[in-house]
Structure formats: C-alpha cells, structure tokens
Amino acid sequence: MRSKTIHLHPDIADKNFIPVSRRELIKTIITQSGEGRSNKLHPKLDQPTIKQLRTLIEVLQTIYHARYHRYYLSLKTAYRPFNPDKDVVTKRSWTSDEKQCLQKKLFSEMSALLQKANYEELDEDQINQALNNEMTRGLSIGVELDDYQQVLIYARGRGLIKTQQRYWQSLFLKKREVEIPIYRRLNMMFRFRGVKELEVLLKNKRMNHLNLWLYLRRHQRLMQDTNSDDYIFLRQFRDIPCSDLEMLFPNSTLRFTLLDKIKLTATGGAGTVGGIMALLSKLTLAIKPLTLIIALLGFGSVLGRQVKNILYQQNHYKMVLSRSLYTHSLDINVGVISTLLDQAQDEDIKEAILAYFILLQTGGKFLSSFEIKLRVEEFLQTHYRVAFNFEVSDALTKLRKDGLVMQDGKNYKAIKTDAACDNLEKHWFDLYSATESLAEVMAER
C-alpha cells in the first residue's frame, strides 16, 4: 500500500491549531501592514509604525523563548528519574514517594504543555474505539492496556491520506482508491505497571491461575525488553491513521487475520492430511527400514513447509509493522519535550501576534473578543485558505499580561507600538531578575 497525497480534513475548522509557520505568518503580517488596502476598518500603517511592529515581534519572540526555556529546564528536572536514555551518573537518589510526586507533576505539566501546543487528548472511549477498528495495513494487533500504569495520548491536526487497497468483492484481484483519516501529529506518554502491581490488579479481576501465570510471564519478558518498569516513555509520531493506534504500543502482539487463518488452514491442513495419509499407506506396506525412513522424511518435509508458511507470514507482518513505525516516528523521550516546547512556543507567539495585529489595524478603536476572533479567522482564510477555531481568550490573556492591550469591559484595543515595546522591555528585565533567583534556588539543590 503506497500513499499518494495528504490534505487537510474537512473538520479542521473545529481545531485550534494554526497550520501556518511562524516565520511565514510574520512576513505576511509585516507585508500586509504596509501594502494592505487602506479603509476605515483596516487603515494602512505608516513606515515608523511598521518598523516598531517588526521590533516588537522580535522582542516578543525573545521573551517567549526565555520563558519556555525555563519551562524546559523544569520538565527535564522532573523527568530525570524516569528517563530511559540518560547517559550521565548522579549522586541523587529518589524515594518511592518522591518519584510518585514527580510522576504526578510530570504528567500534569506535560498535559498542560500539549494543550498549549493545541493538541487534544484522546479519551478512553476514543482509544478503545481505535483499538477495535480494523487496521489499514491488513494487520491484526492485540494490545493489553492493563500493562500500563498511566497512558496519555494527544493528537493535533486531522487529515486524509489517499491509498490503494484491495477489496474482497473483487476477490482481492483489483485495487480501489480510499481515503483514510489520519492524525497529523500524535504524542504518547506512558509508564508500565510493576509485576506486583499488575498481579494485584488481575487478581481483583478474578483471572484464573493459568491465565494469570501466562499473562505475568509475558509481562516479565516485556519488562526485560524495555529494561525496567520504572521508566516513563515519550513518543511522537506523524500521519498516523486513526485506526492504527495499536501499532504504536510497545506491548502490541501480532495476530493472524481471519483471511490468514482460512488460507493457512486450507493449504496447510490439506497438505498435512495428505502427508499423514501417504505416511500411513507407506507404513502399512513398509518392510525395509529404508522405506520407513523415506516415508518419515517425506512427512517431516510436509510439516516443515507448513511451519515455514506460518513463520513467513509472521515475519512479513513484523516487517510491515517495523517499516510503518520507522517512517512515522518523529522523536522519543527528552526529544519529545523539546519538540513540544517549540510547538507550544510557536502557537503562543502566533496567537499573540495575530490578535495584536488585528487590533493595531483598527487605528486605536476598541473591538470585542468575538470581533477579534472573526477577523483573525478571516485573515487566515483570505491569505492561506485555512479555517480554524481561533482561541481568542488565550491570545488576549497573553497580550494583557504583557501590557500590549487595553481593556474596557469586554472590549480591547492595542497599545501603540512604541509604548508596547517599552512594556516588553520591562518584562524582559523582570524575567532576567526571576532567572537570577531561579539560578540561586537550583544551585542550592
């Protein structure tokens, strides 16, 4: 199966992600400020104001970068005891209570960070629905969610991928083009249960002794593969079909599909039965030992071919799964934290710049939050032909915090660019002072 094209899903308007790069958006805003059509609603800005606007945007980006860098250091500190990729030694040790507190903090802050980056959480019902759907790659995969102590799955951006698939009505001889919904970006965060914790859980579910022993045996093998159940794993993927979540879980197990079972039973069963009948007929007539040996070797050859067919099918599925994970994987563990912080920073800056620019275009007039929302969405629809749901309340909160807008009841207006730059300069010095205090605290730890 080979993908051809990917395009935005029609329901993208229900999402908050701004699907335009920050650099291109800033370039469009600066260009629009000087070359836009002048009218009462959108007066063209003069050159000094445009120059100050460019400076304001640069300073705003620098401040956001410094704020998110502090956020990055805080998350890295919380992730230290759970990082499976650490390559440095430390004298620091953590008690189980400290780890529990850090885990709670890490999951909480990562959830908040994902929301800042305009990701949406997949709830338990959505995850179960995806796990029960048929996979697009013709694979059948099982996942035991009881293996996990905690799982977070967030997605951002929906799209459609066009692929060629065979269908049973044509006896799988022909292909037809189908559109499959995908998540443009998907993040997973999870921690495995310990063996003792899992055993208590399964006993509470009244699992019989044999199944409990088999389950725990499989779980222990899985823990050996991942080195420890004390780690927290972070994963980021791209262009994942909504029905293919199973392949992203490390404890997923391949299963034969119904078509595979029918095919292997038809070919293998017939061959095995034929081999048995031939063996029995030869045994009844066999007098010499050589004839008996040849009959047994022939039957062993038949069984070997059937086992080879089963192993071939399993290896084929493993190859498909491995190739899919390789092409869709973006980042792991600490790298995911860095990527998400960059994405959240981008979203915050884009939201703040868009709202300020729309207010600046009014020439000092007040606008309601609803009017700002409509104009921002109209601006992106006009210039990029994308529709989305602008989070105007978040943008105005950020602008108000940085002293870039004035509020009169439920209406807002932009502060002039020169005064706005002065306010940002004060925030920069406040941030520098706070960083000095943070450095003193970190040095004491």
Give one word for 92, left, alpha or beta, with left for phi > 0 and alpha for psi -120 to 50.
beta
Q: Which of the pair, 152 or 363, is modelled with greater confidence?
A: 152
Side chain identity, residue 189: M
Name the token pair of 231.
């780690």
Label residue 414 by pLDDT band (50, 70, 90).
very high
- pLDDT (average), residues 104-125: 91
The pLDDT of residue 8 is 47
Find the helix packing angle between 417-444 and 47-79, rounded to 10°. Answer: 20
Quote the percentage of the chain above a pLDDT of 70: 70
Mean pLDDT across the chain, nearest whole number? 78
Phi and psi of 138, rounded to 5°? 70, 20
pTM: 0.77
Q: Could you tell me which residues come within 8 angstroms of residue 75 by beta carbon, excluding any fewer than 6 positions away?
A: 106, 109, 110, 113, 337, 341
Q: Per residue in 372-409, pLDDT tens?
A: 999 999 999 989 988 888 999 999 999 999 999 999 98
Assess whether pLDDT exceeds 90 at residue 143: no
With CA atoms as reference, report the closest residue to 9 among 439, 388, 291.
388
Assess whether pLDDT exceeds 60 at residue 351: yes
Please, what is the Cα angle at 205 between 204 and 206, to 5 degrees? Answer: 90
The pLDDT of residue 269 is 52
Find the helix packing angle between 22-35 and 47-79, rounded to 10°. Answer: 160
Label residue 11 by pLDDT band (50, 70, 90).
very low
